[in-house]
């Protein structure tokens, strides 16, 4: 009888723990969604504030300068109204201070919601990332025509998704100091084309990143949160932004070593200044990137050429 009671007690405790876990996950996901929506709304408010122009003492309806200002109270806020004494047309009167205050308010909200979202996503990835990344993944290794500079990297070290003939890498969670990524990768005995357009290194263990010939595109923020010190870029790379390298910060007195398979002239043809989304036409699809650009601007992500040393016409053997 006592043994049965103990078993029932264990089952109840386990059930309560699972309920608490799911409840915690639900709360964190809700925080992520709410803060994400609020962040997008704040970015939208900032973009709208940038487009605002100060009003003039001239009626936009009849162009008469005989305009009278008054102040009304709406929603707990004081609002200026301009009334044309000629045609009776009313319009909101906006001053330069109003625009500045609107921008500053939006900037403050962007910073707050970005921090909340970052913290929430960190907890979400820790709770769900490890289990989701291990589903349907094998111990297959990176397929390469050359011997890699490090031990063979296991696919279990990556988070990825497969669509047709393409494997899209998302992040590396391994502990190798040297990470070499090939244009094709093997999973479950089948070879897929590697896509790095959404890949970020993340792992602080990686000190050297080698991107093999054949890969043409990398994610703008591939080095965000990493401690990479040495890079190898293939000649096949079609473009790289200064903003991408700006995420890298060497130890004091040292420089990031960049090796490129092509010539200096070829490097200059693909090395491009990044244009932030807030400087472009900002459609709905660009709001998310605009938010990331803005937050990175707040924390000072800028490219400093003095922190880098370049080696052209290089080969992978130069850093092995």
Q: What is the pLDDT of residues 110-148, one digit of tens each?
A: 888 888 877 777 777 766 654 444 444 444 344 343 444
- 170 shares a domain with 64: no
pLDDT at 2: 57
- 84 shares a domain with 195: no
Characterize 121-133 residue by residue with b for buried, 16 or more Cβ atoms within 10 angstroms of its Cβ, and e for exposed.
Answer: bebeeeeebeeeb
pTM score, whole prediction: 0.52
Distance CA 188, CA 281 (A): 44
Closest residue by Cα to residue 43 from 301, 302, 289? 289
pLDDT at 129: 53
pLDDT at 185: 92
Which ranges of 125-201 would DSSP assign to H, the alpha helix? 130-134
The DSSP secondary structure of 203-241, one letter per residue, reads -TT--EEEE-TT---B-TTTTTT----EEEE-TT---EE
For residue 109 the two structure tokens come to 């909200």
- 118 shares a domain with 230: no
- 170 shares a domain with 225: yes
- 186 shares a domain with 85: no
- 247 shares a domain with 181: yes
- For residue range 182-196, list pLDDT tens digits in order: 999 999 889 999 999
How many other C-beta atoms lie within 10 A of the C-beta of residue 230?
17
Q: How far is CA 141 from CA 30, 55, 181, 192, 203, in A?
A: 37, 64, 11, 12, 18
- 172 shares a domain with 199: yes
- 143 shares a domain with 131: no
- 148 shares a domain with 106: no
Residues in the chain with pLDDT values less than 70: 1-6, 9, 75-76, 126-153, 274-301
The pairing of beta strand 184-187 with beta strand 240-241: unpaired
pLDDT at 70: 81
Q: What is the sign, positive or negative, of the torsion defined by CA atoms of 180, 181, 184, 186? A: positive
Distance CA 145, CA 211 (A): 13
- 146 shares a domain with 43: no
Q: Is 192 left (phi over 0), alpha (psi -120 to 50) or beta?
A: beta
- 23 shares a domain with 40: yes
For residue 247 the two structure tokens come to 């995420």
Q: What is the sign, positive or negative, of the torsion defined by CA atoms of 35, 36, 41, 45? A: positive
- 157 shares a domain with 303: yes
**Number of folded domains that form the chain:** 3
- Tell me which residue range forms the domain holding 312: 138-319
Give phi and psi for 3, each to the nearest 5.
-65, -40
């Amino acid at each position: 009888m006592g043994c049965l009671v103990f078993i029932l007690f264990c089952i109840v405790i386990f059930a309560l723990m699972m309920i608490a876990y799911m409840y915690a996950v639900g709360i964190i996901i809700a925080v992520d969604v709410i803060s994400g929506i609020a962040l997008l709304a704040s970015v939208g408010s900032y973009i709208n504030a940038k487009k605002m122009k100060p009003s003039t003492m001239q009626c936009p309806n009849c162009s008469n300068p005989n305009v009278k200002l008054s102040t009304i109270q709406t929603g707990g806020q004081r609002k200026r109204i301009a009334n044309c004494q000629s045609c009776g047309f009313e319009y909101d009167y906006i001053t330069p201070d109003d625009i500045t205050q609107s921008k500053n308010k939006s900037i403050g909200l962007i910073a707050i919601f970005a921090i909340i979202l970052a913290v929430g996503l960190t907890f979400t990835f820790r709770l769900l990332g490890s289990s989701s990344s291990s589903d349907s993944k094998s111990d297959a290794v990176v397929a390469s025509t050359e011997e890699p500079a490090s031990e063979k990297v296991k696919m279990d070290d990556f988070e990825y998704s497969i669509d047709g003939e393409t494997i899209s890498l998302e992040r590396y969670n391994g502990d190798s100091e040297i990470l070499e990524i090939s244009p094709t990768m093997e999973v479950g005995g089948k070879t897929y084309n590697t896509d790095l357009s959404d890949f970020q290194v993340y792992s602080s263990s990686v000190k050297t990143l080698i991107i093999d010939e054949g890969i043409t595109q990398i994610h703008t923020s591939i080095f965000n949160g990493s401690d990479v010190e040495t890079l190898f870029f293939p000649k096949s790379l079609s473009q790289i932004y200064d903003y991408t390298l700006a995420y890298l910060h060497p130890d004091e007195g040292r420089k990031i070593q960049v090796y490129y398979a092509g010539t200096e002239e070829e490097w200059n043809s693909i090395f491009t200044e990044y244009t932030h989304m807030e400087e472009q036409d900002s459609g709905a699809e660009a709001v998310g990137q605009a938010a990331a650009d803005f937050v990175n601007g707040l924390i000072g992500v800028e490219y400093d050429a003095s922190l880098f040393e370049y080696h052209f016409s290089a080969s992978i053997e130069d850093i092995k």
